[in-house]
Chain A
């Protein structure tokens, strides 16, 4: 009985010893596990866990992967072999291009080198030996004490081996490199080649007597790692490009998509895989800074903590630490995005930007009905004029953009109505509508706006370019262009924390041919801006858009809204009724002019960021 108790304690010591060693080694070699450890709150010694008390060495909580590994290697008689593998990514796979090409990244070659091999074994040569009473009386105590000493020396030695320097470099979150440290734990291992053995050295710790066997720990390590040059990867700045405009990065010559213009955006927001992989995945306006790995990492970033490295390494395993990094970024950003979507309505800016980047239409319209719901609360600003409403709705998403100089200027359309603004205070009415919606008095307006967005959706591409067209064609900016109401409207907007990227003062007051086509007083009531004339090649696309807008169902479904807010809806009704006429004048010229401005913005952004423009394929 006594012997059984002693042997039970000994077995427990051996088992815990293996777990502890595994914990020490991986914490000191695998950056992702080290991050997990660092993220834990520092524990005082008074609140250590039971696992930490083993061998009097507080290491913090074990990652789940370690627990699983420990469980799978519970046969104490089998050796526990821990390989620390340096994965060296080839140069092509580290380029930004291949990061946007999942297929290319999957197939990219990588060199793997075992730089350390730790062998922990309970050498039980005398299994059947019968210990004497004196041997067992305090043997487990001595074993435990010596195990503590061994662990201390192992802990210290891990910091002196060459691999520790690489581990520290890779653990730095400020930089990513072309190499990675992964591990493999198993009970067997492939022997090193002669060449590998020549570059390695072995150190064996003095075995600890653990009757009837002994605990043996040894390490074979590469004496020098200078052959593995750590090249920092070019990483996109993680700061938000505040003046990034989604649409300018889109090729203005591309055709409009049929239906999926918004879905791509929403998928990207949610971190889902892009629907159709393509060499060029256009980043979204709010993905600046980490979209480098987004197409590749999206699925992987949502995976769990670092996986155990298997015998056949997969890119998933290889990139898991990076995906953790990206995962952290994505996880950090998604809540922000959701916050932005469920925001206060006058702050509809894409997340991660100090000031909203103007790609709101795609973002709002298709991404989330809630988003649309909230966003639509701002739409009533331009309800009297359908295009205005939508544009203001979009513009509300493009809230304050400090780099207004990079934004497309107001269309002449907006300037045209400068004089008429005083006569038809639709902007003021629209603002009142905005207030009403803010107060939640006309929820039906939301649905109308949503339907308006739906109407627009089909004709919009994910780049937001089209939305940019719309947004520029109708906005409170029109109100700003009016001499008298401009300031007040702007003040009101400021009070509402509403700003849109197109609320710029650089209004082009010059007349444009498009503005000449406004029909009568409908044109006077039109608060939307007209899209400046662009290239002739855009005419067809714009015309298609206009046609769709003209044939779209009415924005407002609930006539009660009209009665409730009659003064506010007059303009809206007028806007609905004259939708077709409303859109007529602002189709080609304004749209093309805006496209031109988008191009300029794109060039500006490209020159600023210096990153490669990637485009998201149309959904």
Chain B
């Protein structure tokens, strides 16, 4: 089984926009991968005129919010840096027991990378707050600039959502069969790495599966051959 990787278009966001943007992206992805019985829930963004869909699972929503909080905390510690958040879907495979390990193996079959470029210093606020807004000097030109910038972010976010839909439509064969009683596939949200602003990547360019995923894929193949 191939691991399909989707690198989403980079979004340039301000600190207070991170939560909304990530919620929108992550929930949209999960909704497309929650192939069990769901009752879709429309959620309107507060900062943008975009409505996205959640699958209505409370636990899922809580977990995503936790991860976003962690991401925001990380961003606060590493300001003005491009960052990634990775949403991976996997299958649990029982690994052949050996005297090294007896654990189950996660076979990743899909990874989504959301790339964010946080452009502003975070203000002093609680990371648990629902939404924080930057106080700006209410000058007319500043407001206009802010509005145009907000419109650009909204358009970019909309492009990212269309990108998700397009990817989901084009690649369906790698999706595992739906298990009875399971709403969504097992997933994990990680923050694998970050890239330095000046363009120097600390690691290889993220145009392929992460090293971790590649390792898993390789092991999976070995197991199949064995």
Contact = CB atoms under 8 A, between A and B. Distances in A.
A58 B56 CA distance: 11
Interface in A155-177: 155-157, 159-160, 164-165, 168
B177 A141 contact: yes
Given A56-B35, A56-B36, A206 B169 contact: yes
A148 B169 CA distance: 11
Contact of B32 (A48, A52, A152, A164): A152
Interface in A11-61: 43, 45, 48, 52-53, 56-59
Contact of B165 (A52, A157, A165): A157
Contacts of B161: 156, 160
B74 interface: no
A56 B183 CA distance: 9
B42 to A, nearest CB: 7
Given A43-B39, A160-B158, A153 B177 contact: no
Nearest to B27: A156
Nearest to B158: A160
A40 to B, nearest CB: 12
Q: Chain A interface secondary structure, helix, strand, loop or mixed?
A: helix
B172 A206 contact: yes
A221 B35 CA distance: 27
A454 interface: no
Interface string A193-207: 000000000000110
B30 to A, nearest CB: 10
Interface in A437-461: none
Contacts of A160: 50-51, 158, 161-162, 165
A145 B177 contact: yes
Interface in B82-104: none
A159 B52 contact: yes
Contacts of B168: 149, 152-153
Contacts of A155: 40, 53
Give the interface centre of A59, A206, A208 by most chain B CB atoms within 10 Å: A206
Interface of B: 28, 31-32, 34-40, 42, 49-53, 158, 161-162, 164-165, 168-170, 172, 175, 177-178
A146 interface: yes
B37 A58 contact: yes
Interface of A: 43, 45, 48, 52-53, 56-59, 141, 145-146, 148-150, 152-153, 155-157, 159-160, 164-165, 168, 205-206, 208
Contacts of A53: 37
A416 to B, nearest CB: 67
A57 B172 contact: no
Q: Kindly list the 6 A-B residue pairs having the minimum CB-CB distance in the complex, ordered from nearest.
A: A58-B39, A159-B51, A206-B169, A56-B37, A153-B165, A146-B172
Nearest to A44: B39
B38 A156 contact: no
B222 to A, nearest CB: 27
A167 to B, nearest CB: 10
Contact of B31 (A146, A152, A164): A152
Nearest to A146: B172
Nearest to A48: B37
Nearest to A206: B169
B40 A57 contact: yes
Contacts of B36: 56
A145 B178 contact: yes
Nearest to B159: A160
B153 to A, nearest CB: 15
A159 B37 contact: no
A608 B175 CA distance: 65
A156 B32 contact: yes
A164 B44 CA distance: 12
Contacts of A157: 162, 165
A168 B50 CA distance: 11
A145 B175 contact: yes
A52 B36 CA distance: 12
A127 B52 CA distance: 39
Given A149-B175, A152-B35, 10 more contacts: A48-B37, A58-B37, A58-B40, A141-B177, A148-B178, A149-B172, A152-B168, A155-B53, A156-B53, A165-B49
22 contacts: A43-B39, A45-B37, A45-B38, A52-B37, A57-B38, A58-B38, A141-B177, A145-B35, A148-B178, A149-B32, A149-B35, A149-B172, A150-B169, A153-B168, A153-B169, A155-B40, A155-B53, A156-B52, A160-B165, A168-B51, A206-B170, A206-B172
Contacts of B164: 156
B51 A164 contact: yes
